Amino acid sequence: MINDTIITQSFLSFSLGGEIFAANVAKVKEILEVTKLTKVPKSPDYLKGVINLRGTVLPVIDTRVKFGFPETEDTVDTCIIVLTLVIDGDEVSVGALVDTVSEVFETNSEEILPPVSIGNKFRSDFIEGLIKLDDQFIMLLDVDKVFTDEELLVVKETGEETTI
Amino acid sequence: MKFTIKAKLILATIVQLSAALVVFYIGNNNAYQLNKKIDEIIKVNTQRINLSAKIAEDVQFITKREKDLILSKDREVLMDLVKQVDARTEDMENRYAELKDISDEKGVEILDNFQLRWSEYTSSFAKIKSLSMGVKNDSTEQLAYEISSTTARQKALEAVTIVSQIVRKNEKALEAANLETNALYESGERLMWIILGVSLLVATVLAFWIIITITSSIHKAMSAIKAVSEGDLTVNIESTNKDEIGDLLEYLKDMIVKLKEVITFVSTAADQIAAASEQMSSSSQQMSQGSTEQAASTEEVSSSMEEMVSNIQQNTENAQATEKIAIKASDDIREGSHSVNETVQSMKLIANKISIISEIARQTNLLALNAAVEAARAGEHGKGFAVVAAEVRKLAERSQVAATEINTLSSSSVETAVTSGRLLVEIVPNIQKTASLVQEIAAASIEQNSGASQVNSAIQQLNLVVQSNAATSEEMSASAEELANQASELREAIIFFNVGNNLGKKSRRKVKPRKKKPEVSEHMIAAKSKKSSGVVLDMDVDDDSDEEYEQF
Amino acid sequence: MDQFREDYVEDAKDLINSLEQALLQLESSPDNPELIEEVFRIMHTLKGTAAMFGFDVISELTHELETIYDMIRNGELALSTEIVNITLDCSDLLKDLLESEDNPELMLRVQTAHEKIKKITNGTVIEDNKQDVVIFGEEKKEGDQPTYYILFKPDNDIFLSGNNPFFQLEDLTALGETKVVTHFSEVPGLTEIDPELCYTFWEIYLTTKESVKAIEDVFLFVQARCFLKIHKLSEANLLVDSQFLHAVESDEFILESPTTEAVEAHVEYINQFLNTLEPSAVETVIEAPQPEIEITQPKVEVKNVAPKETTKRKEIGGIKSVKIATNKLDNLMNLVSELVITQARLNLYTEQNNTPELLEISENIEKISRQLRDSTFDLCLIPIDEIVVQFKRLVRDLAHELNKEIEFITLGTQTALDKTIIERITDPIMHLLRNSLDHGIELPEEREAKGKNKQGKITLDAFYSGTYVHIKISDDGKGIDKNKIKAKAIEKGLIPRDAVLTDKETYDLIFLPGFSTAKEVTEVSGRGVGMDVVKRKIAEIRGDVLIESEVDKGTSFTIKLPLTLSIIDGLLVKVGDTFFIIPLSFIEKCHEIEAKKLQTVFNNSVVLDGEKIPFFNLREQFNILDEAPAVQQIITVNYEGTKVGFVVDSVVDEYQAVLKPLGKMYQDLDIISGGTILGDGTVALVIDTGKAIEHFTKNLTQA
């Protein structure tokens, strides 16, 4: 995505466990409030369950689990970001549970810093880049990768593998 | 032996009646003698005359028929004639018998003589008859006619003459009777005249005697009664007569004595009454005065009582008004507390609504985010819209903040309101107690009011009684006066009687009470005195009383 | 307007696609006038609609293209590859133009296109814009005016109401050509006549383009005061027929009396008379011209193409059907589902709030939405009829090709199925038919030798059975030889040599991949890729195939299909706070059971109705951790002929679930076949009992 030419891109920023992440709005379909969620048995932990999105069944990923944050109670600000992922060439809608959705912002591609793997607790291949906005680093997520990979975002020394 | 007026009168009457009886007897006897004579004349003599006349008539009838017999040829006429003659003959014989019965001896002689003649005629008639009845021819007729004109006519004439003798004889007897009766009448008349004269004389003597005795007694009684009627009870009645008048005088005497006694008693009593009424009048005057005073003070009490009642009433009204105010206040406070509650509710509702607003703001925020995403995805075209979305988001955030602030404010307001509501609620029972106390006061006042009214009405009644008492005592005083008056009048009346002691002294004192009349009833008394003034003449007459009146 | 433009763009794209297809076909058969006509028609439609919505460039371009094809049609120009190429280029251009008309680059291309077209048409072009071609050929030709018979007998007292029957007659004359026969038969003698009464009545023969309604309207004001009968005698104008006219004028048709019976008899008589007339007239009476609905899009098939000799169609007045894009239908379906769900929420809310008025409204909405849902489902249900036509053609062509005499009988063609199923069932049925034709039905000689009717018989019978539709394809051919199959299976190593198989298992062998019994591979079938594909395709749509066969008597394949793909009749159960749906078709029975009992049982089985039944506690299996209620339900389901129990907390209700896929994220999770959205908006999970049991059993054995 990072080209030599300066391209203005829009991102949706959201917070999760105190960290601020951002996703390319091109991947974001919409933002939902948390509704009643149906847990699906025999499914991975990070799959929180399914919800009814206007008559269709939308799987929801518990991003906290996926990112290796401790589980917390939902608040009024907890939202589901509906993302459009590409899995095996097919477009798939997936909901991602986040703490709060902050805003949509624009940034030039040149402002995007390359991810630093050293000292970062997150896997660098899931991070597209970093943006410094108002003294804060925002991690740009490669949503396709993050949410399709069964691996957790967080780097763990001896991570227990989640299996079906 | 008392020879009473009755006895005298009976005697006189008996004398007169006996004289009348004598006269009657004599008159009656004469009349009887006369009547007897007249009866005789009428019954015998007249009958004889009558019968004789009839016999004569019969004879003539028969002779007449005798002629007809001869003349008649018709058998039937003959027969009829015969019958007629026979019937007449029978009647004549009956009369003859009757006459013979009433005839005196001389008369019978004459009658026998007649009989003789008649029988001769009869035989002649029989001859004629047979002749007439047999075969009639001129000879027979001639014969018959001869007989009839000779013998028969003769004998018949004789018979009639004899009868006329009888009549004559009896007419003579009648004349004798007339003379006899005349004599009888004259003797009777003489006797009656004598008797009448004697009886008249006796009656006159008796009448004079009776009148003299009665008149003298009555005169005596008359003079005594006259004295009494003039009020002189001192008259002395001396009775000498032993008849009814004497008795009358005796009783009169008794009566005067009794009357004297009574009048003396009445006079004393009248004196006493006068004194008592005087006393009564004065005391009732006093009473009347007292009553009047009493009435006045009762009036006073009543008026002050009324004042009190009105005061109490005022009290009651005030208490009631207070009560109402208290109740109103209590209600108002309750209302107020209710309002506060409502306010609290409303505020809670507001808080609720604000939370909705907050929710809306949140959702708007989300929507704006979505819009921003949408706009960002649209790239260049969505730029403008992205700005708008951002603005909307900011607005939504601001409204959320505002909503939160309002929420805090409203919750603190709710607290305040709740506190004030609680305070208000606490006030309510106090006010309610006040209200109930005032209510009690009002009730007591009402009771008091009714008590006072009762007292007042009792006093009013008392007042009425007192007033009526005053009136009554006045009336009584008047009555007493009247009574005194009456007593004096009585005395005046009694003075009329002379009983021969000092009744006059007491009569002078009775006029005094008049000057002690109560002022209240002065008019009445005056009116009364005026009224009575026309009647009681001796008021003016009595000089002593007038003098005493002036001295007062 | 934008909306309309959008619609236009969509339609235009469809049209262009059709155009391309037609062009490609035209390339292979350039002389086919129908295709030329088709291309011309598409051009014309594109032109007209483009002009209407302001796509002037497109309009111009298509106009010129239209001119070319008009010329070809009229024989003024021969179709060449060049023309086809240009047209194809243009169609690409048109597609781009639809996206953005203002693009200068495109305008350049338009320019060149114009030039190219001009080159072709140059000199020979005679513009003829006058002729319009109507897509739905409803216009009737001149003279095709139906003839009506009208009996008009006013009531005697018609004059008293201020009406004059002559007005009606005049109005009728104004509608079209008339022939009026006046009847005086009811006029009484001169002495009895009442000049204020009407005794006359009329028979009118009217030919008009107007509808019966228009004729009835003429009598609108005297309706209540007259005896009126209107009968359509013919679709053709009989009044131009001299024979008919003569018959009318010569009193051949004498109406006996103005009564309904008499009139009917009379009309019958006239019809009989008409039948004796020349046949052309008769034909017009029987067969009305049918408007054909053109298919411009290979989406939902609403094809009415039917061979005239076999099917008689009902008259179609006006547009009886429309074509709808499937995605629109799907959209509608989704919306309706949403509506039903929302309505259920409304119901829930209303019940909680207990507002009678709201309740009434909500009940109304419930009713309406249920109807709407049913109608929408109905919309998606298409009668098999629609595909049967193809089968018929196939059978005929194949029979011809194979020199076999076949009688193809179709039954229950009105049986409807979900369109997606219809779409996906066509190929398997085709294959089965082919199979029957090729392998089942013997050659006529062979049949005669067997003593059978020379003509073979294939029956396609479709019928409902519960929520399933059965399609039975049977033939009276030679049947399946079980031994042969077995031998072949052994030969191919599909089964062990000593395998003992039931009849069913034996027949099912033919569905194995790579199995083909035909000795020779024919063009039609026998490539061995048929039956397994059939089986799989049917399985994909939750269907099943059963085989019955008897040697020399025939074979029958029964395809068992659900009515729709998206609706499952299930039992809504609850475990913890999660709802599950167990398909009703598998459920045997529900029992109540105490939770305590379950904890103490041995070997995971309980005795129910005197039967020992193994069971799985869904709570345990699904790792639902909260406390189980004291009394639970055990639902016995049928698993390959045996009963297996599922323990759930409670049975909520029977539920018709609209099945929704869970999506890619759950693609490995086969025990859940999908989700459905309940009334309150929550998602319930549909359990695939078979898979679940397999899964649980595997767990059990692993443990």
Q: What is the pLDDT of residues C310-352, one digit of tens each?
A: 334 444 445 667 777 777 887 887 788 778 777 777 887 888 8
pLDDT reading at C360 higher than 60? yes
pLDDT reading at B504 higher than 60? no
Nearest chain C CA: its distance from A132 CA (Å): 33
Please tell me the distance from the alpha carbon of residue C160 to that of residue C198, in angstroms, as a whole number: 10
Could A40 and C672 be called an inter-chain contact, meaning their C-beta atoms sit closer than 8 Å?
yes
Answer yes or no: do B164 and B293 share one domain: no
Please tell me the distance from the alpha carbon of residue C88 to that of residue C84, in angstroms, as a whole number: 6
Answer yes or no: do B215 and B261 share one domain: no
- Contact by Cβ (8 Å): A6, A108: yes
Q: How many CB atoms lie within 10 A of CB B447?
A: 12
Structural domain ending residue among the three candidates B220, B255, B289: B220
Nearest 5 degrees, angle CA C333-CA B370-CA A90? 55
- Contact by Cβ (8 Å): C155, C199: no
Answer yes or no: do B286 and B137 share one domain: no
Range of the domain at B147: 5-220
pLDDT of residue B310: 84
- Contact by Cβ (8 Å): B317, B546: no
pLDDT of residue C580: 92
Answer yes or no: do B256 and B213 share one domain: no
Q: Which of B366, B377, B386 sits opposite A31 (nearest CB)?
A: B366
Instruction: Give the residue-averaged pLDDT of B430-438.
Output: 82
Instruction: Give the residue-averaged pLDDT of A30-45.
Output: 86
**What CATH code is carried by the domain that includes residue B457?**
1.10.287
Lowest-pLDDT range, B365-374, C177-186, C685-694?
C177-186
Please tell me the distance from the alpha carbon of residue C386 to that of residue C382, in angstroms, as a whole number: 7
Largest CA distance in chain C: 116
Instruction: Match 């959201």 to its residue by tokens.
Output: A14
Query: CA C582, C587, C591, C592: dihedral to nearest 10 degrees?
Result: 0
pLDDT of residue B290: 82
Please tell me which residue, B177 or A52, carries the higher pLDDT value. Answer: A52
Instruction: Give the residue-averaged pLDDT of C597-619.
Output: 81
3-state secondary structure of B45: helix
pLDDT of residue A120: 62
Among all residues of chain A, which has the CA nearest to that of B394? A103
Structure tokens, C227: 């005896």
CATH code for the domain defined by C567-702: 2.30.30.40
| Cβ–Cβ contact C348 with A under 8 A | no
Please tell me the distance from the alpha carbon of residue A7 to that of residue C237, in angstroms, as a whole number: 75
Answer yes or no: do B203 and B293 share one domain: no
Q: Which fold has domain C326-382?
A: Helix Hairpins (1.10.287)
Q: Which of residues 653-682 of C touch A (CB under 8 A)?
A: 660-666, 668-669, 671-672, 674-675, 677, 680-682
| Cβ–Cβ contact A55 with C under 8 A | yes
Nearest chain A CA: its distance from C532 CA (Å): 27
Q: Is residue B54 part of a domain?
A: yes
Q: What domain count does chain B have?
A: 2
Q: Which of residues 613-642 of C touch A (CB under 8 A)?
A: 621-624
pLDDT of residue C165: 80
| Cβ–Cβ contact B391 with A under 8 A | no
Confidence category of residue C437, pLDDT binned at 50, 70, 90: confident
Among all residues of chain A, which has the CA nearest to that of C681? A52
Q: Is C254 exposed, middle or buried (0-12, 13-18, 19+ CB in 10 A)?
A: exposed
pLDDT of residue C320: 66
Q: DSSP labels for B11-44? A: HHHHHHHHHHHHHHHHHHHHHHHHHHHHHHIIII
Confidence category of residue B551, pLDDT binned at 50, 70, 90: very low
pLDDT reading at C173 higher than 50? yes
Please tell me which residue, C63 or C30, carries the higher pLDDT value. Answer: C63
Nearest chain A CA: its distance from C12 CA (Å): 27
Could B366 and A33 be called an inter-chain contact, meaning their C-beta atoms sit closer than 8 Å?
yes
**For chain C, which chains pass the contact test of at least 3 CB pairs under 8 Å?**
A
Structure tokens, B362: 């949140």
Query: pLDDT digit string (tens) for C210-259?
Result: 777 778 777 877 777 788 888 877 777 777 777 777 777 766 666 767 77
| Cβ–Cβ contact A152 with B under 8 A | no
Q: Can you identify the CATH homologous superfamily of domain C384-562?
A: Histidine kinase-like ATPase, C-terminal domain (3.30.565.10)
Please tell me which residue, C485 or C474, carries the higher pLDDT value. Answer: C474
Which ranges of B134-243 would DSSP assign to H, the alpha helix? 138-147, 153-229
Lowest-pLDDT range, B157-166, C130-139, C172-181, C550-559?
C130-139
3-state secondary structure of C460: strand
Could B386 and A10 be called an inter-chain contact, meaning their C-beta atoms sit closer than 8 Å?
yes
Among all residues of chain C, which has the CA nearest to that of A35? C682
| Cβ–Cβ contact A33 with B under 8 A | yes
Query: pLDDT digit string (tens) for C368-419?
Result: 888 887 788 777 778 888 788 778 878 888 888 888 888 888 888 888 887 7
Could B373 and A31 be called an inter-chain contact, meaning their C-beta atoms sit closer than 8 Å?
yes
Lowest-pLDDT range, B134-148, C192-206, C273-287, C434-448?
C273-287
Instruction: State the average pLDDT for chain C.
Output: 76
Instruction: Match 């033939």 to its residue by tokens.
Output: C475
Answer yes or no: do B146 and B274 share one domain: no
| Cβ–Cβ contact A2 with B under 8 A | no
Q: Is residue B542 part of a domain?
A: no
| Cβ–Cβ contact C345 with A under 8 A | no
Q: Which of A42, A59, A61 sits opposite C622 (nearest CB)?
A: A42
- Contact by Cβ (8 Å): A93, A53: yes
Instruction: Match 């030599």 to its residue by tokens.
Output: A4
Could A104 and B389 be called an inter-chain contact, meaning their C-beta atoms sit closer than 8 Å?
yes
pLDDT reading at B405 higher than 60? yes
Largest CA distance in chain A: 47
Instruction: Give the residue-averaged pLDDT of B440-463.
Output: 82
Q: Which of residues 37-56 of B touch A (CB under 8 A)?
A: none
Among all residues of chain A, which has the CA nearest to that of C336? A55
| Cβ–Cβ contact B356 with A under 8 A | no
| Cβ–Cβ contact B376 with A under 8 A | yes
For residue A94, the chain C residues in CB contact (below 8 A) are 663, 665
pLDDT reading at A153 higher than 80? no
Answer yes or no: do B205 and B262 share one domain: no
Q: Which fold has domain C2-121?
A: Four Helix Bundle (Hemerythrin (Met), subunit A) (1.20.120)
pLDDT of residue C3: 64
Topology match between the domains C384-562 and C567-702: no
The residues, any chain, with a CB within 8 Å of residue A62's CB and separated by 6 or more, are: A45, A46, A47, A48, A71, A97
| Cβ–Cβ contact B372 with A under 8 A | yes
Could B369 and A76 be called an inter-chain contact, meaning their C-beta atoms sit closer than 8 Å?
no
Where exactly are the structural domains of chain C?
A: 2-121, 147-299, 326-382, 384-562, 567-702
How many beta-carbon pairs under 8 angstroms link A with B? Answer: 47
Which ranges of B496-537 would DSSP assign to H, the alpha helix? 504-509, 522-533
| Cβ–Cβ contact B454 with A under 8 A | no
Nearest 5 degrees, angle CA C1-CA C2-CA C4? 65
For residue A12, the chain B residues in CB contact (below 8 A) are 369, 372-373, 376
Could C683 and A54 be called an inter-chain contact, meaning their C-beta atoms sit closer than 8 Å?
no
Query: pLDDT digit string (tens) for B393-403?
Result: 888 888 888 88
DSSP state of C157: T
Percentage of chain B beyond pLDDT 70 is 89
Query: pLDDT digit string (tens) for B298-319?
Result: 888 878 888 888 888 888 888 8
pLDDT of residue C120: 77
Q: How many CB atoms lie within 10 A of CB C323?
A: 15
Q: Is residue B549 part of a domain?
A: no
Query: CA A142, A148, A151, A152: dihedral to nearest 10 degrees?
Result: 60
| Cβ–Cβ contact C341 with A under 8 A | yes
Lowest-pLDDT range, B67-81, B533-547, C14-28, C574-588?
B533-547
Lowest-pLDDT range, B18-22, B235-239, C637-641?
B235-239
Instruction: Give the residue-averaged pLDDT of B528-533.
Output: 41
Could A101 and B376 be called an inter-chain contact, meaning their C-beta atoms sit closer than 8 Å?
no
Could A26 and B372 be called an inter-chain contact, meaning their C-beta atoms sit closer than 8 Å?
no
pLDDT reading at B515 higher than 60? no
Answer yes or no: do B193 and B319 share one domain: no
For residue A101, the chain B residues in CB contact (below 8 A) are 366, 369
Q: Which of A35, A50, A87 sits opposite C664 (nearest CB)?
A: A87
Chains B and A touch (3+ CB pairs under 8 A): yes
Instruction: State the average pLDDT for chain B.
Output: 78
Percentage of chain C beyond pLDDT 70 is 84
Please tell me the distance from the alpha carbon of residue B407 to that of residue B354, in angstroms, as a whole number: 7
pLDDT reading at A41 higher than 80? yes
Nearest residue to C53 via CA among C4, C102, C97, C92? C4
Where exactly are the structural domains of chain A?
A: 9-161
Q: Is residue B551 part of a domain?
A: no
Please tell me the distance from the alpha carbon of residue C208 to that of residue C147, in angstroms, as a whole number: 7
Instruction: Give the residue-averaged pLDDT of C661-665.
Output: 77
- A87-91, A128-132, B514-518, C157-161: range with highest mean pLDDT: A128-132
Query: pLDDT digit string (tens) for B534-549?
Result: 444 444 444 444 444 4
Please tell me which residue, C47 or A79, carries the higher pLDDT value. Answer: A79
How would you label B253-279 residue by residue, b for 16+ Cβ within 10 Å and e otherwise? beebeeebeebbebbeebbebbbebbe
Confidence category of residue B239, pLDDT binned at 50, 70, 90: low
Among all residues of chain A, which has the CA nearest to that of C670? A42
| Cβ–Cβ contact A140 with B under 8 A | no
Report whether CATH 3.30.420.40 matches the domain A9-161. no
Please tell me which residue, C656 or B277, carries the higher pLDDT value. Answer: B277
Phi-psi region of C549 (alpha: psi -120 to 50; beta: other; left: phi over 0): beta
Confidence category of residue B367, pLDDT binned at 50, 70, 90: confident
Q: DSSP labels for A31-81? A: EEE----BPPTTS-TTEEEEEEETTEEEEEEEHHHHHTPPP----TT-EEE
For residue C669, the chain A residues in CB contact (below 8 A) are 40, 42-43, 164
